[in-house]
Structure formats: C-alpha cells, structure tokens
Structure 1
Amino acid sequence: MIRMLVATVALILTALPGHAFETRATAAYVIDQTTGTVLLAKNADDPLPPASMSKLMTLYMAFEAVERGKSNGGLDLTEELPVSQHAMSYGGSTMFLDTTDRVKVEDLLRGIIVLSGNDACAVIAEALSPDGTEAGFARLMTRRAQQLGMTNSTFANSNGWPAAGHRMSMRDLGLIAMRLITDYPQYYPLFSQREFLFDGRAPQNKANRNPLLGLGIGADGLKTGHTQEAGYGLVGSAKQGDRRVIFVISGLESAAARAQESEAIVNWAFRQFAQREMGSAGTQIADATVVLGAQKAVGMELAQDLSVLIPVSGGSEINAEVVYTGPLRAPILKGDMIGELVLTRGDLPEVRAPLVASDSVAPGGFFIKLQAAALHLLDRLNAGPEAAS
C-alpha cells in the first residue's frame, strides 16, 4: 500500500475542528445530506420507541404503492379506501374517521403527514397488508426496512402507537427521511403543508405540528412524534442554498424544548459548516507508478465531482492523502479505479473519494519486461541469500 501526501494548495485548506453540538435530546442524528457528512450522532444506533416518527416508514411504502399503481397491487391517489372498526378505534392524533367513511388515498396521505392521523395509517396499512391486517403490514414494514438498510428497526404497527418491540434508531429515521426526499421528490412538498382540514372535521386538529415550518430557516419537513415513553421528538429537514440538512432528535421533555432544540440544531449545522468544492471529475490529483507497461506512470484523477463540508473558522489543516496499492501492473484501462483520495478534517469523518486512471497503459514490449525481470532479480539478490532463494 502506497500513501502519498498531496501538497496541492487547492486540496489543503485551513479550518478549525467544529465544536460538537451539546444536545439535550437523549438520542440524536444530524447529517448534511448534500455531502453525506454526519455532523452529530448521539446514541444514534440505539433502537428506541419512535412514536409517530415511524409513520415515515408507512408513508414511504404508501408512496411506493402509488408509484406501482393499482393495476400492479398498489394504490391510486384518487382511490377511496374503507375505514375498518380497528382503524376507527385508534385514539391520540386522528382524522376522526369512522366506518361509514370511504377516504381518498391523497387525503389519507395528507392526514398522516399534517395531522399525524393514527387512523389514516391503519387504513393505508390494511389496504396494503398481505393478509388485510395492520399487524401483517407491520411485518412487511420490518422486512422492507431491512432491505433499505434500516437494521435497527422493527415495527408492531403502522403509526407508532406504543407497543412492545416497536423500535427505530435515530440513524434509521434519518435514512428513511433521506429516502423520502430523494426517491419521491414529487410528494415531498406535502411535508411542508401547514394545515389540512379534512371534510370540515375537528378544526382543533388541522395544524401541522412541525414547529420549524414558517420560521424562515428553510425547514420543509418531516414528522414530529410524542408518547410518554419516547418523549418529544422530530425528524426534520431544512434547505439553505444548495445545502440540505436532515436531523432526528428524541427524548425531549416538552414540545417547547423540542422546538428550541430543533431550531438550534438547524442554525448550528448551517452556520458552523460550509460546503467547499474540492475538484471536478477528471481533475488529476497524482501519478501512480506502473510496471511492465509502455509507460512508467499513469495519472490518478477524480472519478466524480468532489465537494466536502468543512468547519467555517480558521485553525487546523484539512489534509489530503492519496492511497493506492502499487506499483500498478499494466495493462491499465482509462477509467479503472486505481486508488483513493483520503481527506481528514479534524473531528469530522474522513472522506474517501475514488481515483481512476486518466489514460490507458498498454503492456510493455519484450525489452521492458526483460528489464523489469532483471531489476526484480537484482533486488532479491541485494536482499540476501534467504530472499534470493
């Protein structure tokens, strides 16, 4: 393994390691989605009661079903679904549905997102369940979560109603938030809807509980949660300029504390860190030594555009290092991955960017191979009798 420090000015910046945010939440996860940089992780992988924040998983599966369409076992936005006695029986936050209702899927989705409707979740769940029950849908949720990489999530229902074994980690909640934003941008604007008054019912339950909407800080989603066991939590996201931050907090003692902590996290994430362009795809970073080739070296260039997040204040270096296993052996094709650029930035996670060959290198001719064999034999002889044998 060969490691080379890169002394290029464009790839070494000065910055002060960012100060960790001292959150009051019992568990938290903050990620800069644009660069994939994890800014904060506190008990982020502990499976905890997620309360209504787990409704995001139900929404993701509902969006999948809408995209499949009714003819493929999915849903249609204008389709009207019946309300079962089980769905109607839920308390807490509801759309106040009853068994005489047939409700459009698009209204149910708004009811889940804006009103946090436990009953609306159950209606969707029973429609998509393999056996027609909410429990069957919960088992399907768990399997789908595993497929999406959410390894610390298990579901007992569709809405986060307190139940044994119903658990999600903060990192998993951050992952499903990111998937909702990136996989279904056409539905994401629903998360910033401030009010929804379904059929003129219960005007006292028409407002979105997300405390960040309307504060002018770029917040546009996603879901609050609260039970006695879980405390107050929020899966939130905000976009300022080209950057988007996703955060998850849980275990706050009040709705007011949740609002204050959420706003403080958003302000910290945007003010204390800045995105910097480090190079575009095709930028040559270094040369790698080649043996048995028509040329003795090949350029190493960025495989894709590279931007990183750095703390905003001056202080300590961000270092760049090229790592590859060498010398490389010809033949080499242009575009082959031949190494990595490793960036370290104080307390932030390191960044590893793939480097590819800038040109093809053909195998060398007879004399090049003979020369390489002779040099190899000479090296072994110089190393002593044991190496030569």
Structure 2
Amino acid sequence: MSAPVTSSDGSDRRSAALRLGVVAFLGLVLSLAGTGLRAQNFQSQAPYAVLLDSASGTVLYEKAADELMVPASLAKIATALVAFQEIAQGRLSLDSEIGISENAWRKGGGVSGGSTMFAILNSRVKLSDILQGLIVQSGNDAAIALAEAIAGDEATFARVMTERVRALGLTKSVFRNATGMGDPEQKVTARELARLSDHIIKTYPELYKIFGQREFTWNKIKQQNRNPLLAMEIGADGLKTGNIDEAGYGLVGSAVQNGQRLIVVVNGLKTARDRAQEARKLLEWGFRAFEARRIFGEGEIVGEASVFGGAKGRVALKAKGPVSLLLPRGAGERLNARIVYRGPLVAPVQEGTEVGRLLVTRGDVKTLEIPLYASETVEAGTLQRRALDALMEVATGWVRKALKRS
C-alpha cells in the first residue's frame, strides 16, 4: 500500500525503491532508487513535441507542449471527433448521404490545388466514404462538406469543434475551420492534440480504425494515407499529418507494441522526412526506455482536501481506479506531486464529486495529471463549527494580505 498525500508531517515507506513523503502543503516526492539516464536526456528536433502513454496517461516527453501552435490538417482530428460523436448519438449514420456543395468543391476539391478526395460537384456521398476522404486522403472537400452537413456552414461547425474539445477538458485549442487551412486565430497545443487523439482511440475504437487504412480510392483516383508511420512496421495504426507554411510539418501518430500504446505529436518541422524521423525516434525510444510503476492501488486514498463549514474538516480524495506511471528504466529521478483544488471546499460535499487533480512532475515535464474525487460525503456542520471555520478563514486572509505587503 502506498502512502496518501496529506498535509501532516511525516512519511511512510512503500518499498526501498519507492518512498512517498509530504512536501509543503498537500504535496509529495517520489524518490526512485538506482541510477540511469534521465528521460528528458532525449532531445527532439521538433519545436513542439509530446509523447504520451495511453494506458496510464503518463507524459514521457514534452517540448513546448502547452504553447499554442498552428495545427494545419491536424485540425481534422477534431473534425473527425465531431463526426464520430454525431454517429454515436444517432444523428448520423455511416449510410447518411453528404452533399458536395459548390463551396466545398471549389474551396476543397480538385480545382483548389490542396489535399482533396476529388468529390464531384453537387453529388451526394455516403458518410462512410466522406470519413475515409477526410482521414485517409486529408480531403478538404470532405471536411467542408461534413461541416456543412452537421452545422450548416464551416464557421458554425468550427465553433462546435471548439465546444466539443472544451467538454473534454481541452481549454486552449481554438478552431476556426474544419480543414486546418490557415487562420490567425486557429491554434492548438501538442498536449491537447495528444489527449484528443487518446480520447478518440478509447471512445470510438471501430471508427478509429479508419486512421490506419493505408489507401482509399474515390472518383477512380487511388491515394495513399499520408501518415508515414503506417509503413514502418512499428505497430502504428493512426492518426494524421499536417502541413501549411505557417505550421511547418506536423504529425500525430499512435503505435502499439506488446500491448502498450503510445501517442506522439510533433509539429513545426522543416520537411516531411524530418517529421517522420522524429516521430519514429520518439516512439521507439518510448517503448524501449520506460517501465510501469503503480503508485496507488484501486480505491486507495491519494490525499485530503480541506472542507469549510463541514461536519468534518477534511475529506479524503481518491482516483477512479489505480494510478500508475511510466518511469525511465533504472532511473534515479525525483518526482514531485501535488494536489490542486480550489479550496477550502464548501460543505456539503457529495461522495464522488470531482474536487481536484493530482499533478505529478518530473523536472520540467508535467508527467501525469488525473482528477481526484471525494471518497465520502461530508455534510454541513453545526452552526458553531461553521462560525469557527469562518473565523479561521478570516484570520488566514489577514495573514495572506500581510505577506503580500511584505
């Protein structure tokens, strides 16, 4: 059993290799015995990069992961998300017919000079084919036609894209079109692209298979999937490439080896060859250099949060399921973790309510971030208890103000 994160002094030993102790308020340090290379000794040429372990949510590598960048056709991953959601909710089916308007044909078809599935003007195309045109061929005509079918026009659809990723907890990415064509306000982050891709893989496994399709023929024109990882025999099965002048060359990819799935994001590279090489190097290094360590078991208490005006002054917090990390093999790295929440919580607090997040960092890398939930219900306390809590909060407020002045 591992030790919960608490605000009291002291520490408990889990094993010689893993010790959990309290650091400041609601914090902990994970110390791993042994020596070895530090994970971030790996260096990528990509200006933006993330490597994510899907099962644990561990970030194995990051570089400018939270900085806004131009997505180019990587935005089509969010376009696909909206379509998958519409199918799952029964508003569309794979047999639904999508019209190819003059706008979609002229702006995204063969006459546009960009990536296209060569859909015919004023034709109607099954959604199953539109999705292949969108994902395999990166067709702009498919993206625009899909946007018009779902939301009426592309600008409205882009707002839907942004709303849908916000609902997944992705707070920085903003979409202005369905294609990834240049727009000064359309920006994403590498971390959020990785999380979005992970969500699609886990939530829509059957539809996700389209991302691994090697080729697609439409209008008697056969085109190969633009994802170079699919041909490398490294277990890759998706996702998308992107390139416009403002973005450079980018790729979001995923691969599975020995039951482990990694998701890689690179962007801002100078050539298509560079993006292929950097993505492959990150994946191969990730599969080779890390091993799994369980930090908390199923139902274990991770820490506590203060409760204002409650029958109890604290509530224990736990994750949904066990908490594991991928750590460098044989490394002697120091991990820092803290529980972040807006507090103190105000009673009553219901069991199962999400009240905070566990953040684990390794140096400058935000290794893990998972939600934490109240493990029990804390009812409102007596009038006397609430008054005492209020006085303590006022006193604490005065101390904070004094510290700001000093």
Q: TM-score, normalised by structure 2?
A: 0.71
Q: Helix, strand or coil for the counterpart of 1:196?
A: strand
- Which segment drifts farther, 308-317 or 40-49? 308-317
> How has the CA–CA distance of structure 1 residues 344 and 27 changed in structure 2, closer, same or farther, with 3 Å as cutoff?
closer
8 Å contact from structure 2 (residues 40, 61) kept in 1:
no
Instruction: Choose the corresponding residue for 2:44, options 23, 30, 46.
Output: 23
1:118 equivalent to 2:118? Answer no
Instruction: Choose the corresponding residue for 1:309, options 326, 344, 354.
Output: 326
Percent identity of the aligned residues?
A: 40
User: Equivalent residue for 2:65?
Assistant: 44
Instruction: Choose the corresponding residue for 1:144, options 138, 149, 164.
Output: 164
Partner Cα distance (1:24, 1:216) in 2: 23
1:64 equivalent to 2:85? Answer yes
Aligned residue identity for 2:328: P
Give me the CA root mean square deviation: 3.6
Partner Cα distance (2:369, 2:159) in 1: 37
> How has the CA–CA distance of structure 1 residues 316 and 155 changed in structure 2, closer, same or farther, with 3 Å as cutoff?
closer
Listed as ranges, the gaps of 5+ residues in structure 1 are 287-298, 323-333, 358-389
In the TM superposition, what whole-angstrom CA distance separates every residue of 1:227-246 from its partner, at most 9, and x where no partner exists?
Answer: 11111000111122232211
| Aligned positions of 1:40-189 closer than 5 A | 40-69=61-90, 74-89=91-106, 90=108, 91=112, 92-129=114-151, 132-189=152-209
> How has the CA–CA distance of structure 1 residues 351 and 109 changed in structure 2, closer, same or farther, with 3 Å as cutoff?
closer
| Aligned positions of 1:6-21 closer than 5 A | 6-9=12-15, 11-12=18-19, 13-15=32-34, 16=36, 17-21=38-42
Aligned residue identity for 2:80: L
Aligned residue identity for 1:60: L
Partner Cα distance (1:27, 1:184) in 2: 27
Partner Cα distance (2:338, 2:71) in 1: 41
> How has the CA–CA distance of structure 1 residues 4 and 341 changed in structure 2, closer, same or farther, with 3 Å as cutoff?
farther
Partner Cα distance (2:96, 2:179) in 1: 21
User: Equivalent residue for 1:190?
Assistant: 210
Q: Helix, strand or coil for the counterpart of 2:196?
A: helix
8 Å contact from structure 1 (residues 33, 178) kept in 2:
yes
Q: Helix, strand or coil for the counterpart of 2:174?
A: coil
Q: TM-score, normalised by structure 1?
A: 0.74
Partner Cα distance (2:96, 2:247) in 1: 34
8 Å contact from structure 2 (residues 73, 180) kept in 1:
yes
8 Å contact from structure 1 (residues 4, 321) kept in 2:
no
Partner Cα distance (1:100, 1:80) in 2: 12
User: Equivalent residue for 1:4?
Assistant: 10
8 Å contact from structure 2 (residues 158, 177) kept in 1:
yes
Deviation at 1:302, TM superposition (A): 8.9
User: Aligned pair count?
Assistant: 328
